[in-house]
Amino acid sequence: MFQPAITSFFTRK
């Protein structure tokens, strides 16, 4: 399985 980064779900402020 592939582990995406948390930044692909939350936007940078």
Partner 1 sequence: MFEARLTSAATLKKVLEAVKELLNEASFDCSDSGIQLQAMDNSHVSLVSLTLRSDGFDKYRCDRSLTMGMNLASMSKILKCANNDDTVTIKAQDDADTVTFVFESKKQEKISDYEMKLMNLDQEHLGIPETDFSCVIRMPSVEFARIVRDLAQFGETVLICCTKEGVKFSVSGDVGSANVKLAQTNNFDKEEESVSIEMQEPVSLSFACQYLISFTKATPLSPRVQLSMSSNVPLVVEYEIAELGYIRYYLAPKIED
- Interface with partner 1 (CB under 8 A): 1-13
State in angstroms the smallest separation of the CB of 11 from partner 1. 5
Minimum Å distance from CB 12 to partner 1?
A: 5
CA distance 4 to 11: 14
How far is 11 from 6, CA to CA, in rounded Å? 9
CB of 8 to partner 1, least distance (A): 7
Q: How far apart are CA 13 and CA 2, in angstroms?
A: 26
